[in-house]
């Protein structure tokens, strides 16, 4: 789950990481009130779960409260990278001497966290790595020992700091690492990490992505996962989350339901190979019950772009007869609003096929044949 900037900064503050003074606003008048309370020039920042907001015009500046009201009015309701802006963060505009970068992410090849720092912040770190790799400090973190104080000091020293600033910066690095571990972060970063003319360090921006599989340890974020205000999910994706389904909306016309991420991805590839386009990625998961199949089908039938639904089931933990009953449950309750193509093989496959065939639903054994049939129907509909 990708937290919005103001959400991430709330977490940063709990860990003692300095952030600018600021508040969230949902209307232009609220933005004006926040600017009046702050009493300084402000930055008005669109709150969407996307990077590159500055380049896309999502960060504007205001010298007065009235100007803050005006720029908030321009941002609220607009779209940044296809995401609607429902809230803005109004915060004090920092005086900047230097911009740095610091982040902690997962290095999957080494199976550990890695700290990444750069003396050049404010731009995409991938761009710095491509154009000036010598400015990147990369430090793998041993999961048994963690990031020690002397490790953080080494990173800060590599960025050119010494004395009081060396200690202050290394302390900030260590706090961000502690945050990453305790919050089960897949990625947390500060870009830019601002050095002020007074020699202080402040997180001008904050990013925090939490592993969805660890949300049971963070109940404070559970409700935010289903909030429509987040803006980074389509209505269909939000509804799928509420139903406990792994769903991603795509741009095709063939609805796809599979059990297991690998099988579902292979189904998407097979549809593409046959000249079609998938409308979604929908993974039922292992042990999918008839209720989950019923829920998945009704979700796809509600999408007007879907011309046909391809159901690809490889029965292991998932029982094919349970899946078949789920399909018929939908047929009995609402009927098939779209043609369906079923490929079913594995545990209790004979019983599953029998249930469907007796109900007049054709079942195929080959994934290639099923994809070809789905593409044929989509072109005809």
pLDDT tens digits, residue range 193-228? 999 999 999 999 999 999 988 988 998 887 776 665
Whether pTM > 0.85 for this model: the answer is no
Average pLDDT, the chain: 91
Could you say which of 67, 189, 195, 372 is catalytic?
Answer: 189
Burial 115-149 (b: 16+ CB within 10 A, else e): bbbbbbbbbebeebeeeeeeebbebebeeeeebee
pLDDT above 70 covers a percentage of the chain that reads 96
Please check whether the two domains, 98-221 and 233-376, share a CATH topology.
no
Residues linked to residue 310 through DSSP beta bridges, in sequence order: 256, 341
Query: How many residues are listed for the chain in this entry?
Result: 381
Whether 15 sits among the annotated catalytic residues: the reply is: no
CATH number among 3.40.50.720, 3.40.50.261, 3.30.1330.10, 1.20.950.20, domain 233-376: 3.40.50.261
Whether 7 sits among the annotated catalytic residues: the reply is: no
Residue 104 per-residue DSSP state: E
Under CATH, which number does the domain 21-92 receive?
3.30.1490.20
**Residues 84 and 71 sit within 8 Å (Cβ to Cβ):** no
Fold entry, domain 98-221? D-amino Acid Aminotransferase; Chain A, domain 1 (3.30.470)
Please determine, for residue 54, whether its predicted confidence score (pLDDT) is greater than 80.
yes
In the chain, where are the structural domains located?
A: 21-92, 98-221, 233-376
pLDDT (tens digit, 9 = 90+) per residue, 231-268? 566 778 888 888 888 899 999 999 999 988 899 999 99
Could you say which of 101, 113, 161, 247 is catalytic?
Answer: 101
**Residues 248 and 274 sit within 8 Å (Cβ to Cβ):** no
> 41 is written with which tokens?
């020039």
pLDDT above 90 covers a percentage of the chain that reads 68
Nearest alpha-carbon partner for 295 in 261, 268, 267, 334 = 334
Cα–Cα distance for residue pair 153/177, rounded to 1 Å: 13
Cis check for the bond before 87: say yes or no (omega within 30 of 0).
Answer: no
């Amino acid at each position: 789950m990708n937290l919005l900037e103001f959400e991430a900064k709330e977490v940063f503050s709990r860990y003692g990481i300095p952030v600018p003074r600021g508040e969230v606003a949902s209307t232009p008048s609220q933005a004006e009130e926040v600017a009046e309370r702050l009493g300084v020039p402000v930055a008005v920042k669109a709150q969407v779960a996307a990077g590159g907001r500055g380049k896309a015009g999502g960060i504007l500046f205001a010298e007065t409260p009235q100007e803050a009201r005006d720029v908030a009015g321009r941002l609220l309701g607009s779209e940044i990278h296809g995401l609607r802006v429902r809230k803005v963060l109004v915060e004090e505009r920092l005086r900047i001497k230097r911009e740095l970068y610091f982040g902690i992410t997962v290095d999957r090849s080494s199976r550990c966290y890695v700290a990444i720092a750069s003396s050049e912040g404010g731009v995409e770190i991938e761009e710095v790595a491509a154009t000036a790799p010598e400015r990147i400090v990369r430090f793998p973190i041993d999961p048994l020992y963690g990031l020690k104080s002397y490790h953080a000091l080494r990173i800060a020293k590599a960025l050119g700091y010494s004395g009081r600033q060396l200690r202050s910066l290394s302390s900030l690095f260590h706090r961000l690492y502690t945050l990453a571990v305790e919050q089960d972060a897949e990625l947390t970063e500060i870009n830019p990490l601002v050095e002020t003319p007074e020699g202080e360090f402040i997180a001008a921006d904050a990013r925090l992505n939490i592993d969805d599989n660890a949300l049971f340890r963070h109940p404070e974020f559970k409700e935010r996962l289903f909030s429509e205000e987040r803006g980074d999910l389509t209505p269909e994706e939000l509804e799928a989350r509420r139903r406990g389904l792994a769903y991603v909306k795509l741009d095709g016309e063939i609805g796809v339901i599979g059990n297991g991420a690998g099988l579902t991805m292979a189904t998407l590839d097979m549809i593409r190979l046959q000249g079609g386009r998938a409308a979604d990625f929908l993974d039922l998961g292992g042990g999918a019950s008839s209720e989950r199949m019923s829920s998945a089908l009704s979700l796809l039938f509600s999408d007007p772009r879907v011309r046909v639904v391809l159901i690809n089931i490889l029965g292991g933990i998932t029982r094919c007869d349970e899946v078949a009953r789920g399909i018929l449950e939908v047929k009995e309750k609402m009927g098939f609003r779209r043609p369906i193509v079923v490929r079913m093989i594995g545990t209790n496959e004979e019983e599953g096929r029998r249930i469907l065939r007796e109900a007049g639903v054709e079942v195929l054994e080959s994934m290639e044949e099923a994809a070809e049939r789905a593409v044929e129907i989509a072109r005809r509909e």
